[in-house]
Amino acid sequence: MASTEAKSDQDRLAVAPHAKRMRTEAGDHEQLLAQGAEGRVVVTELLGRRVVCKYRFPKAYRHAELDARLNAKRLSQEVRLMLRARQLGIRTPLIYHVDARAHAIYMELLDAAHGWMPVKALLVLFERDALALKSQQRDADQRVGDDSETRSDVDEIGTQLGSLAAVLHAGGIIHGDLTTSNVMVRRRDPTRASGGQSAGQDFEFAMIDFGLSHVCTKQGDEERAVDLYVLERAIESAHNKLAARLGRALMEAYASAWPREDAQRGARVLRRLEDVRMRGRKRDMIG
Amino acid sequence: MGTERQSALRPTPKEPQRIALGIEGSANKIGVGIVKEDGSILANVRKTFVPPLGSGFLPKETAQHHQQHAVGLIRQALEEARLSPRDLSVVCYTKGPGMGAPLRSAAVAARTFALLYELPLVGVNHCIGHIEMGRLVTGAENPVVLYVSGGNTQVISYSDQCYRIFGETIDIAVGNCLDRFARVVKLSNDPSPGYNIEQAAKMGSRFVELPYVVKGMDVSFTGLLSSVEREVVKMNKGTTDFSREDLCFSMQETIFAMLVEVTERAMAHCGERDVLVVGGVGCNLRLQQMMDMMVAQRGGRAFCTDERFCIDNGAMIAWAGLLEFMHTGATPFKETWCTQRFRTDQVHVSWRQ
Ligand SMILES: Nc1ncnc2c1ncn2[C@@H]1O[C@H](COP(=O)(O)OP(=O)(O)OP(=O)(O)O)[C@@H](O)[C@H]1O
Ligand SMILES: [Mg+2]
């Protein structure tokens, strides 16, 4: 499995000449993290440090002119908006180097070895745990009680996602691809986070994948609402069992995390979200 | 439950295979198909209502068209299959989504036929019909589905007995966008606006920059449509070098790239390698080619069908209805109505694990 995988990777690298160069520079250290939608994300080495390199290779299916335009635009958007998000206090990977010609960004590795994973992966674990818990309880012939552990974790994830979105939106940024694959999370070190930690501080988050991000227009309610709609549906389709619970926590947190002077704004976006959802439901008119 | 399901799929030699007749009429086509339990297609006939140049199809005229042809098509399908109504096990019809009046015409035909020959009825979700037909014809087992037609644009993936919608249009459907464009540039509706755009695009070469709007796994087409309409105005005034063919070309390149991109996003998001393209726009060869190139870069496969199955037809309703009939049973007569709104993810997919 691993070897055929590696071989076909090698083949596909033929479309990204810079990647070959990287491979020789980095020797055998390069390791594929994800074949995302547009780009490939690999762990490689830069100045003796393990880093992530995300590069977009030309898409054979896309008209060359369109493809070049999109790749260049998304690279610069990604870099600019990652910095802007940081200025809002949202954690994103640090950017070390940008190779515009190769459409490549070298950035900080949010290392799995240090507990980082996409929120999506964590939620999948929760779903599995919840199932296991239920069947355990059934086996023990107990009443399904308050499986509080998993449940409060799910609530916290929802709440934190909601406030992240609110901070981003209040700062004028539309993420453009808000999904649970594009937010990274790790559990805080329990030895350090003991005792004094208040509830809602068990996890830390980082946002990634700003390729479709942009600064929103002055009005911007519609854009923000669509951003939330994308997130909501990503959750519904990928984490069906937790969706209701996550969604509730998320929307509540979103409304309350807007800065005080803009408090109306959050509620307005949520009302707009209602409209966007309605359009969605009405859409299926003609087979 | 599990064993019941098995025996339903494997008939004993004494039991003859079940056969379904399906009637589709949710948009401007009325189709009748006959399908056997082993998946063989015994008949699949259809008639298309083609509106005059410059206009779209209206509910009332379309419904009249369907009413006119329903009986003839049922008769023709039975003849082709060499069957009499008594050989059928079930009658299936499109419950929705679609346009009200045409849907009702087909549903009334189905109910009448079923009552006449004392056959059970199954109401079928149109989108599920497309998906199941696509899986049957291509053999794709668990693909990400791109469903693109006049009224729908969805990226779908199956899990836990549900076809979940990962991405969709946030305004108009892709086919609707193409049809409206065809009207503006006065391309004929015969055989379909999309087909004529595809032919014209082959003669275009210069690329006009048009809005490319992808939001997560969703797409949006209204900005693109108004932008290309402005180009048409310029073209008619003679203030641009771009021809109608160039516009068709650029329109296709841009729209299809958006569709392929969101399909790829869904594949990355749910870790699937294969794609199935269904719906009327899915028979566009340029779209199929682009999809092939995308999956080739990912090491997967693209499954497409031709116009017999991509475009609305009766066999797809018969097949999806037969699956439901075998695993869930018939739709109670009281519930054999139809509805304009019926989302893909509302259906309990009892026939898959
Ligand atoms: N800095 C990082 N550290 C650790 N893992 C990362 C990092 N960046 C990306 N990843 C992993 O790679 C996956 C894909 O990355 P990313 O979302 O940036 O690419 P993509 O989805 O291909 O981008 P796009 O949506 O623009 O095509 C992420 O979901 C995550 O699992
Ligand atoms: Mg991503």
Inspect the interface and report whether the beta carbons of A60 and B151 lie closer than 8 Å: no
CB-nearest partner of A176 from B24, B216, B297: B216
pLDDT of residue B269: 82
pLDDT of residue A52: 96
CATH number of A14-109: 3.30.200.20
Element (H, E) at A233: helix A221-238
Chain segment A99-156, per-residue pLDDT in tens: 999 999 999 999 999 999 999 999 999 888 876 666 665 555 444 444 555 558 899 9
Q: Average pLDDT in the B310-326 region?
A: 97
Do B154 and B88 fall within a single domain?
no
pLDDT of residue A138: 57
pLDDT of residue A6: 41
DSSP 8-state secondary structure symbol assigned to residue A61? T
Res. B252: pLDDT tops 60: yes
Nearest chain B CA: its distance from A244 CA (Å) = 15
Cβ atoms A76, A39 nearer than 8 A: no
Do B239 and B164 fall within a single domain?
yes
Spacing, Cα A181 to ligand 1 middle (Å): 8
Counts for chain A of helices (H) and strands (E), in that order: 8, 10
pLDDT of residue A262: 86
pLDDT of residue A146: 46
For residue B112, give its domain range.
19-131+310-346
Tell me: cis bond preceding B191? Omega within 30 of 0 counts.
Answer: yes
* Domains A14-109 and A114-286 fall in the same CATH topology: no
DSSP β-bridge partners for residue B124: B94
Indicate whether B235 belongs to any domain: yes
pLDDT of residue B271: 86
- What is the ipTM metric for this complex? 0.86
Identify which has the larger pLDDT, A17 or A40: A40
Domain A114-286, classified CATH 3.40.50.300, yes or no: no
Q: Does B63 touch chain A (CB under 8 A)?
A: no
Do B84 and B227 fall within a single domain?
no
Query: Atom 29 of ligand 1 has which residue's CA nearest to it?
Result: A181
Average pLDDT in chain A: 82
Q: Is A139 a catalytic residue?
A: no
Q: Minimum mean pLDDT among A262-266, B174-178, B230-234, B259-263: which range?
A: A262-266
b/e per residue, B76-108, with b = 16+ CB within 10 A?
ebbeebebebeebbbbbbbbbbbbebbbbbbbb
Domain ranges of chain A: 14-109, 114-286
Indicate whether B203 belongs to any domain: yes
Indicate whether B137 belongs to any domain: no
Rank A271-285, B8-22, B300-314 by mean pLDDT and report only the highest: B300-314
Identify which has the larger pLDDT, A131 or B261: B261
Chain segment A27-56, per-residue pLDDT in tens: 456 788 888 777 889 999 999 999 999 999
Chain segment A248-263, per-residue pLDDT in tens: 999 999 999 999 888 8
User: Is ligand 1 within 6 A of the CB of residue A182?
Assistant: yes
Do B163 and B219 fall within a single domain?
yes
Inspect the interface and report whether the beta carbons of A284 and B341 lie closer than 8 Å: yes
DSSP β-bridge partners for residue B32: B23, B45
Q: Which of A177, A209, A221, A227 is catalytic?
A: A177
pTM, to two decimals: 0.87
Q: Which residues of chain A are within 8 Å of residue B165 when distances are taken between CB atoms?
A: 233, 237
Spacing, Cα A34 to ligand 1 middle (Å): 7
Q: Minimum mean pLDDT among A150-154, B135-139, B238-242, B338-342: which range?
A: A150-154
Do B163 and B121 fall within a single domain?
no
Do B231 and B110 fall within a single domain?
no
Do B292 and B252 fall within a single domain?
yes
Do B328 and B279 fall within a single domain?
no
pLDDT of residue B4: 42
Which residues does B338 contact at the CB level (< 8 Å), separation at least 6? Answer: B93, B94, B95, B96, B98, B100, B103, B104, B106, B107, B123
Q: Minimum mean pLDDT among A232-246, B9-23, B337-351: which range?
A: B9-23
Q: Long-range contacts: A4-10, Cβ < 8 Å, 24+?
A: A8/B299
Number of domains in chain B: 2
Indicate whether B170 belongs to any domain: yes
Q: How confident is the model at residue B21 (pLDDT cuts 50, 70, 90)?
A: very high
Phi, psi at B123, each rounded to 5°: -90, 135
Cα(B115)–Cα(A283) distance, integer angstroms: 33
Q: Is B349 marked as a binding-site residue?
A: no
Chain segment A168-205, per-residue pLDDT in tens: 999 999 999 999 999 999 998 766 554 444 545 789 99
The residue to mutate among A31, A32, A33, having the most atoms of ligand 1 within 8 angstroms of its beta carbon, is A33
Q: CB-based burial of residue B283 (10 Å sphere; 0-12 exposed, 13-18 middle, 19+ buried)?
A: buried
CB count, 10 Å around CB of A283? Answer: 21
Cα(A35)–Cα(A38) distance, integer angstroms: 8
Indicate whether B122 belongs to any domain: yes
Do B99 and B162 fall within a single domain?
no
Q: Is B130 marked as a binding-site residue?
A: yes
Q: CB-based burial of residue A34 (10 Å sphere; 0-12 exposed, 13-18 middle, 19+ buried)?
A: middle
The enclosing domain of B114 has a CATH number of 3.30.420.40
Q: Report the relative pairing of strands B121-125 and B90-96 from DSSP bridges.
A: parallel
- Label residue B179 left, alpha or beta by phi (over 0 means left) and psi (-120 to 50 means alpha): alpha
Do B170 and B273 fall within a single domain?
yes
CB contacts < 8 A, A to B, total 149
Cβ atoms B339, B99 nearer than 8 A: no
Res. B239: pLDDT tops 70: yes
Which residues does B265 contact at the CB level (< 8 Å), separation at least 6? Answer: A37, A177, B155, B167, B216, B217
Indicate whether B44 belongs to any domain: yes
Which two tokens mark B283? 């028979």
Inspect the interface and report whether the beta carbons of A177 and B341 lie closer than 8 Å: no
Indicate whether B5 belongs to any domain: no
Do B264 and B244 fall within a single domain?
yes
Chain segment B30-76, per-residue pLDDT in tens: 999 999 999 999 999 999 999 988 888 899 999 999 999 999 999 99
CA dihedral A210, A212, A213, A215 (to 10 degrees): 150
Indicate whether B259 belongs to any domain: yes
Do B282 and B206 fall within a single domain?
yes
Q: Report the relative pairing of strands A31-35 and A39-46 from DSSP bridges.
A: antiparallel
Query: Atom 17 of ligand 1 has which residue's CA nearest to it?
Result: A209
The residue to mutate among A40, A52, A54, A230, having the most atoms of ligand 1 within 8 angstroms of its beta carbon, is A54
Q: How confident is the model at residue B9 (pLDDT cuts 50, 70, 90)?
A: low
